[in-house]
Structure formats: structure tokens, C-alpha cells
Amino acid sequence: MFEFDDSRLDDVDWLLGRGQRLRHLALAGARLRQGVAGADLAALARVADGFRPRAVIVLGPEARLMRAVAEPTCPVPLVAWPTPSLPAWVGSLDLVVILASRPEEMTEAIDQSLRRGAVTLVVAPKAGAVTEHAVGRSVVTVWTGTDDHFVTAVVALAGLEALGLAPAVAPARVADGLDQVAEQCSPHVALGSNPAKDGAVCLADSVPLIWGGSVLAARASRRLAEALRQVTGRTALAADASELAPVLAGATPQDLFADPFDEAGLSQGLSLVCLDDDSPDPLVGQAGRQLSALADGHGVRLATIRHSQGGAVERYACLLQHGLFAAAYLGLGLNRGTEA
């Protein structure tokens, strides 16, 4: 069993010596700037030349993120396709977006799209396996210089924005937001002033229940739950308010006087993590208040991660980044390695 030691979180030298994951997270904004800087997004508009597709089909990692961002305003149907083989109905009237963060896995989709005459946008880290496949008058290939799935999705969303098929993404603002999170969650910021370190302490000896009310916040909650399961080897549940409410209602408050060295007293309590992206939906606000009241009434610790600035993509990215920093610090406090 790994024992959480919060003193590790204020030992900067110790963190910097083991914090590969922290460095990776801190560079998220830089990776996004690099990916966007090398992207010739105007090329897609030139190839499309006013073409309004019958439908947009997105394949690859973060296809569902693109759908969540673009679908509410997209004037045509937008499909996040789960396999690297295109649906049978795709043809020359459609736009296919291929997120090729791992190019070798997407060559089949590229070949199928070109054979069917669809306008094709391929977003990939660099020239290589994709180059020999993504060739034709109706294909645009954008190189990002990084295999970061999120960067690939943002670049593709910016391409759809140029065609009037997605809302404004503002990648520079998203990158600035990620930099701001990195500053707030830096190893040099002490416990008590660092929201990620505080979050790690809150989650150290509990089973986290994670809730996000909006579509994008819910997606961030699932990603955060995956990171917490990986870093702790313990249960972490992301679910809708209707699924979390019965769990909270049945929670038994931990005994403050239980002997921590007695195995009978080692059962973990619950903690509730709410991801708040300032959704205007009144039902989301009501659900959040109900969950908070249940947590308070049953002695469940509550942690709120909030980001209300910028567009949908910025809010999603910053909420998730705050959570991932907390997961990384939790792993370091447990001394279970550097990966979150």
C-alpha cells in the first residue's frame, strides 16, 4: 500500500527530480502554439473553394471532442466515427477530417476517403507514413510537429472554423489559458496556494466521484477519472449527477477518531470533484447545487475546479489541465512514479 506524504509536494527539488509528467503538462501551451504555427489552414479553404459538404466525418483520437465543440453550431451533420474505416455512405459530397496523431493507424481511412472523392483534411505530426497516401487535388495535409492528440483536434477545429463549420476556437487564447494553469500549478507554488497540490491532498485518501455538468465538462471528468485510476491504482468514478446522487446519499462519514493504523479503519471515504465551466444551462447549475448539498450533508469532501473564461475549448482544456496537474501531484505524493 502506498502512503501519501504531503510534505513531498513542497519539496521543489524532489518534485523537479521526479516530475516528468509535470514538465509535460507545463509545456501544453507551447505544444499548441507550435502545432498551430506550422498549420496552413488557409489551404483547406482554397481546396474547398466555397464547397458546403453534405456532412463532416471526423476520425481519430479526440474525434468526440471535436463533435462536442462543433456540433451545436455546425450547419451540416457532424459524425465522430469510432473506427479507421469510413462508413459506406461517405462520398464526394462529404468532408472527411482525419486526426492522424498516429499516422500508421489512419492510412486506410485516408485511402478510402480519396478513392471516394471526398474533400479530406489530414492533421498529422509530420511528413512520413501519411505522405504517400495523402496525395490528391481534394486533400489538404497539415503538419503540427507534435503527436499531442489535443493539439491535433484544435488545429482541425481551426480548419473547420475557416469553412464556417465550427465556432471560433482562438488557439492562442487556449494556449495562454494553459500557460496560466501551469503557472498556478507550478511546483514552485506552495501547498495552500497551489490548487493542484490542494486537490491532490483532498483526493489522497478518498475515492473520487467526478462530475461535470456540460458536455465538455463531462468529457473532462472522464479523462480526469482515467488519470486518477492510472496514478493511484484505485477506483475513480466519473458519471452524471443522477448516477452520483445515490452514491453520495449512501455515504457514511469517516470516523475522525478511527485508528489510522488499524486495518479496520483503513476503508476510504468519498470525495466529490465538480468541474465547473460556467455553463449557462440552469439545469446544470441546479444539479451541481444538489450534489454539493448531498456531499455536505453526508460528510463528503468537496473540491471544485472552475474555469469560466474564454470559449468552450479553452474552458475544457483548462479544467482538464487543472485536474491532470492534481493527478500528477497525487502520484508524486504517493511516490508511485512520475506518470499520471
Q: Does 150 fall in a domain?
A: yes
Q: Does 232 fall in a domain?
A: yes
Mention every residue, 6+ apart, whose C-beta is less than 8 A from residue 138: 47, 114, 117, 118, 119, 120
Domain boundary among 120, 143, 170: 170
d(CA 117, CA 299): 60
Q: Does 182 fall in a domain?
A: no
Q: Does 247 fall in a domain?
A: yes
Q: What is the pLDDT of residue 339?
A: 44
Q: What is the pLDDT of residue 50?
A: 75
Q: How far apart are the first and last CA of the chain?
A: 18
Please report, for residues 82, 95, 177, 191, 339, the alpha-carbon distance to residue 329 in angstroms, rounded to integers and kept in the order given: 32, 42, 20, 11, 10
**Cβ contact 202:271 at 8 Å:** yes
Domains identified in the chain, total number: 2
Report the half-sphere exposure of 118 (CA within 13 A, side-chain side).
27
Q: Which range marks the domain in which residue 261 is found?
A: 6-19+187-334
- DSSP string for residues in 100-120: -SSGGGTHHHHHHHHHTT-EE
pTM: 0.90
**Cβ contact 238:211 at 8 Å:** yes
Supply 165's cell numbers: 463549420
311 in the same domain as 286: yes
| pLDDT tens-place values along the chain, 340 residues long | 568 888 999 999 988 888 889 999 999 999 999 989 877 777 767 776 777 899 999 999 899 999 999 999 999 999 999 888 899 999 999 999 999 877 677 888 888 998 999 998 988 887 666 666 666 678 888 888 888 999 999 999 998 998 889 999 999 999 999 999 999 999 999 998 999 999 999 999 899 999 999 999 999 999 999 999 999 988 999 999 999 999 999 887 665 555 544 544 434 689 999 999 999 999 999 999 999 999 999 989 999 999 998 999 999 999 999 999 999 999 999 987 544 3
Q: Does 179 fall in a domain?
A: no
15 in the same domain as 69: no
